[in-house]
Structure 1
Amino acid sequence: MRNIILLFVSMLTVAVYGQNFQGKATYKTHRNMDIKVSSGDNAPNSDIQKKLHERMKKMFQKTYTLAFNKSVSTYTQNKELEPEVNSGGVQIMMFGNGGGNDVLYKDVLHKEYINKTEISGKRFLIEDTLPETPWEMTSETKKIGNYTCYKATRSREEEQRSFTMTDGEQEESTKTVTITTEAWYTPQIPVSNGPGMYWGLPGLILEIHEGKQTIVCTEIVLNPSEKIEIKKPRKGKKVSQEKFDKIMEEKTEEMMERFKNNRKTKGNGESISIEIRG
């Protein structure tokens, strides 16, 4: 009798997650912020610094939708009211982030992706191979909504560059850091996919912790009555990820140079600008 029950469950799973299987998952992002503002006579007062912290925090609180089937997906930012980013002489510049116009298309079957994004109004299509960083599987579990999730981790080394501006003089430093990622996935939704560039586990990834960033799934709809169309983004200049990274680096340096020149021209009364690379 037990074998018959197991066979029935197996056949039911095949029926539910067959070729026409589709779904949508909503994710919310959050990032802990450490903001350091230079001290001195021209530094923002504590009230302005507090407002700056809150607004930067809100800038990283986004909502995304992952539309998926067994092999492909699109990941897009939901339309939301953008928070104010300029107050009290403190300006925040978002750079390298197309926001609600970005589309990340992943094909986990053929291990490739297309990322449509914008820099300074110019549209790019980044076409490349999905990075494969091995996951370390564990037996640790927890519930996320109605789904039983398993924990997996991985780590990689990454070179990080930082820029600081003191009295109009730019200082740059580079260091190698170890990035650890903690993922929670559910085999109850057997697709090797997840938010952003996360993938490669035997189930949909519902939660990510990486550095100071957290991504959590808040809603899942499986096989909706209205068919989901998952289309490749088409319009934009085609580049590899390596080429796009070089373009981003050049644009960042141009922006820092402009900021440096503005500081020298306007003197100590110039507002403080904080650059955030998306």
Structure 2
Amino acid sequence: MPTKTMKSKNLIIIILLSIQFCFGQKNSAYIEYGVKIYDDNGSFTKDKMFADTFLNAVKEANKLTFGLIISDKGSKFYEVNNGIEQNYEIGLAKIYANYMGIIYNIENDIIKESQLLGNNIFTKENKIENWILTTETKIIDSYICFKATNTYTVINPKGTFKYPVTAWYCPKLPYSYGPNGYGNLPGLILELQVRNVNFGIKKITLESDLQFNLEFLKTAKILTEEELNKKLDEFNNFEGK
């Protein structure tokens, strides 16, 4: 017959095994973001020919929802299929929001899908660095968030342009990820402002069954920045004919 001492030891072993099992599980987190697009001091509507098109895209952007899955592999940022019609204005809204397809944040790399150039075509970038961390705070969805700033650089035939980036991240949510490939901060980004585009939190699920796989990397075409620019030039030349 088991003694009290044996029963106590067995109970301790069961408890330790249970703790080990619980901590061994790698649950995913799931976050949803909405997006809003602004006029940026009239710079997008000063040309009357394109003003109506831009304003329609701004209106349609309010219908978009994006998901962020975080797991031990990294993160996946993607458009959530919420049944909206994929019309011309929705397409423009995604372009204005600088969303060209699924974005993976894996180890030291950002892998971005380029739907504009075809299926299974991706580009690889380094993670966002050179954040300036501040002590400024604000409450977002009951979480205390800290402000971090950076710049977004655009290089085109007209020159080099730098636009402000503001991220509000939450150290209590220790995930160094965020919307549209941004991250590398000491906490989850709950709100992101890049020039005239704002991604804001809609829902946070810290215990999620959602996962993603990286099998596509075995067959995906990963373009260098030079190859991407060449492809975009070819696309623009073709569109202009």
What is the TM-score with the length of structure 2 in the denominator? 0.74
**Cα distance in structure 2, aligned partners of 1:254 and 1:95:** 22
Instruction: Quote the residue 1:216 is aligned against.
Output: 200
Given the alignment of the two structures, is residue 155 of structure 1 paired with residue 139 of structure 2, yes or no?
no
Distance 2:22 2:233 in 1: 46
Q: Which runs of 5+ in 1 are unaligned?
A: 1-14, 39-43, 87-91, 162-173, 259-278
| Cα distance in 2 between the residues matched to 1:53 and 1:127 | 27
Asked if 2 retains the 8 angstrom alpha-carbon contact of 1:72 and 1:230, the reply is no
Displacement of 1:70: 4.8
Separation in 1 of the partners of 2:220 and 2:60?
A: 26
Q: 1:217 to 1:119 in 2, by over 3 A?
A: same
CA distance in structure 1 between the partners assigned to 2:163 and 2:100 by the alignment: 28
Aligned residues: 210
Identity of aligned residues (%): 21
Whether 1:230 and 2:208 are equivalent positions in the alignment is: no
- Contact kept, 8 Å, 1:114 with 1:233, in 2: the verdict is no
In structure 2, the residue matched to 1:169 is none
Higher helix share: 2
Structure 1: distance between partners of 2:124 and 2:99: 22
Residue in structure 1 matched with residue 48 of structure 2 by the alignment: 37
Shift of 1:65: 0.2
2:176 to 192, 201, 204: 192
CA distance in 2, matches of 1:96, 1:141: 29
- How far does residue 29 in structure 1 lie from its aligned partner after superposition? 1.1
Query: How far apart are residue 137 of structure 1 and its match?
Result: 0.5
The equivalent residue for 2:239 is 255
Counterpart code for 1:103: I
Tell me, what secondary structure is at the counterpart of 1:150? strand
Partner of 2:5: none
Tell me the equivalent position of 1:180. 164
Structure 1 residue 236 displacement after superposition: 4.2
For residues 45-71 of structure 1, the C-alpha deviation after alignment (integer angstroms, 9 at most, x for no partner) is xxxx65x34422134342100000255
* Aligned residue identity for 1:69: S
Answer yes or no: is the 8 Å Cα contact 1:74–1:230 preserved in 2.
yes
> Contact 2:134–2:147 at 8 Å: present in 1 too?
yes
Matching of residues 18-167 of structure 1 within 5 Å: 20-33=26-39, 34-35=44-45, 36-38=47-49, 50=52, 52-61=53-62, 62-70=64-72, 72-79=74-81, 80-82=83-85, 84-85=87-88, 94=92, 102-107=101-106, 110-119=107-116, 122-161=118-157
Rate the CA distance shift 1:135–1:219 in 2: closer, same or farther, 3 A: same
Q: Partners in 2 of 1:19 and 1:77 — Cα distance?
A: 27
Bigger proportion of residues as strand: 1
CA RMSD, 1 decimal:
3.2
Report if aligned partners of 2:34, 2:201 keep a CA contact under 8 Å in 1.
yes
2:124, 2:200 → 1: CA distance?
Answer: 26
| Partner residue, 2:191 | 207
Aligned equivalent of 1:6 = none
Give the Å deviation of 1:232. Answer: 1.8
Return the alpha-carbon distance in structure 2 between the equivalents of residues 214 and 26 of structure 1: 13
Distance 1:153 1:246 in 2: 31
